[in-house]
Amino acid sequence: MGWNHVQGSGAQASSGRSPTLTATFSGAVAAGDLIVVSGVWYAVVSGTPTMADNVNGVNYTYKGPTVVVGTANLGTWYYVTPKGASSGFSITFASTNAAYLAMTIDEFNYATGATYSIDSSGTKIQAAASSISLASALSVSGTDLVYAAGLLNGSGTASPGSGFTLAYNAQIISGKSYGIASEYFFPETSNINPTMSCSGAALVSLNGIAFNATVPTPIQQVSEVYPKTSYTWTDRKGVTKPDVTGSYQLSNLTPVSTANAGTLVITADCTTAGAIVGLALVLWDERGNPISVSNGQITASGWATNAAGNYVASQGYSLNAGYLAFDVSQAAGYSVLVIQISNGTVNLHSKLF
């Protein structure tokens, strides 16, 4: 994840005035990438020219300058392309009337699913000189891509500013088109003023934009391992008679903490085949008050025994388990009472999960 200059290209008019000019990327263009385009034109036109590609057919967003002045014009557009192309991705520069056109196109990306916004932008127009910078530094937030494009109205070859990489450089074609150059710098975490220089006194205009990328937080799947080993089994052996035969004062009980558990499992084995064991589960709040009593019944198997020869819990022909499971997630403590034993001796076993 990080800024990447995928590719760049450009074009110049070769036969004088024309209302359109097209530049084509040499490689594949990926959907979701940021396309930045700058164009220069000679002539006073009515309205702002447009940029659009042959895949999406939508006019790109014009970023400046806000006022088109004189005959030496430089504009910059950008677009996050919804659809890409494996080849032949072309962008057409269209003026409202015939003009001497030149353009530069660049493709950038940051990460899959990234969204792009502008932190700041600026424009500088001056008399032809060998160097140019904006009137003030561009402000950035986070890690920005800083893009700049310059217009050359005179002989000379452009060179990038300190730290910048030159993406496209086309000298003026006398009587046919201006020269144009583009450069970029990333990652930039401090405010910066783009500069550009030229081997001759040719630079008359500079546009600069600081782009910010935002990557959405990935969806995380959260799961909890069922804590079977966090608690131990509690055994109560040799029960031959119920704990409760009539009214019972629950304040005589000492609750067992549920800790962070969500479920209490209770099972039993009996010395007598088919024995029935009735149980009551008392739930307690954190203040030590009983808040609920739930009843359940365990039936011993008529044939299945454990290593001690006792008959284990059974559910007959049902697919449900023979043990009891209670939700204790909203309780602070619990108590288990035997309220019925049909015959024989019972061993109770319980565990929190």
Cα distance between residue 239 and residue 15, in whole Å: 106
What is the pLDDT, as a whole number, of residue 131?
97
From its phi and psi, is residue 309 left (phi > 0), alpha (psi between -120 and 50) or beta? left
Is residue 286 domain-shared with residue 333, that is, in the same domain? yes
Full-prediction pTM beyond 0.75?
Answer: no
147 contacts 200 by C-beta, under 8 angstroms: no
Is residue 119 domain-shared with residue 167, that is, in the same domain? yes
166, 183, 214: which is the final residue of a domain? Answer: 214
Residue given tokens 């052996």 in the structure block: 237
What is the pLDDT, as a whole number, of residue 214?
93
Is residue 65 domain-shared with residue 208, that is, in the same domain? yes
Is residue 207 domain-shared with residue 248, that is, in the same domain? no
Is residue 318 domain-shared with residue 209, that is, in the same domain? no
Is residue 173 domain-shared with residue 40, that is, in the same domain? yes
Total number of domains constituting the chain: 2
Cα distance between residue 125 and residue 206, in whole Å: 7
Is residue 303 domain-shared with residue 159, that is, in the same domain? no
Q: Is 220 within a domain?
A: no
- Sites in the chain below the pLDDT cut of 70: 43-46, 66-70, 223-229, 318
What is the pLDDT, as a whole number, of residue 17?
80
Q: Which of 88, 86, 90, 30 is nearest to 60 (CA)?
A: 90
Cα distance between residue 164 and residue 131, in whole Å: 14
**Residue range 147-176, pLDDT digits in tens:** 999 999 989 999 999 999 999 999 988 877
252-289: burial string, b at 16+ Cβ within 10 Å, e else: ebebbebeebeebbbbbbbbbbebbbbbbbbbbeeeee
Is residue 329 domain-shared with residue 299, that is, in the same domain? yes
Q: Is 32 within a domain?
A: yes
Q: Is 335 within a domain?
A: yes
57 contacts 111 by C-beta, under 8 angstroms: no
Is residue 132 domain-shared with residue 238, that is, in the same domain? no
154, 179, 214: which is the final residue of a domain? Answer: 214
Q: Is 278 within a domain?
A: yes
167, 182, 214: which is the final residue of a domain? Answer: 214
Q: Is 74 within a domain?
A: yes
Q: Is 228 within a domain?
A: no
What is the pLDDT, as a whole number, of residue 224?
63
Instruction: Quote the domain boundaries for residue 307.
Output: 234-352
Tokens representing 253 are: 């009980």
Is residue 190 domain-shared with residue 62, that is, in the same domain? yes
Is residue 193 domain-shared with residue 48, that is, in the same domain? yes
Is residue 184 domain-shared with residue 309, that is, in the same domain? no
**Residue range 251-285, pLDDT digits in tens:** 999 999 999 999 999 999 999 999 999 999 999 99
State the average pLDDT for the chain: 91
Q: Is 304 within a domain?
A: yes
> Pairing state of beta strands 90-109 and 131-133?
unpaired
Q: Is 227 within a domain?
A: no
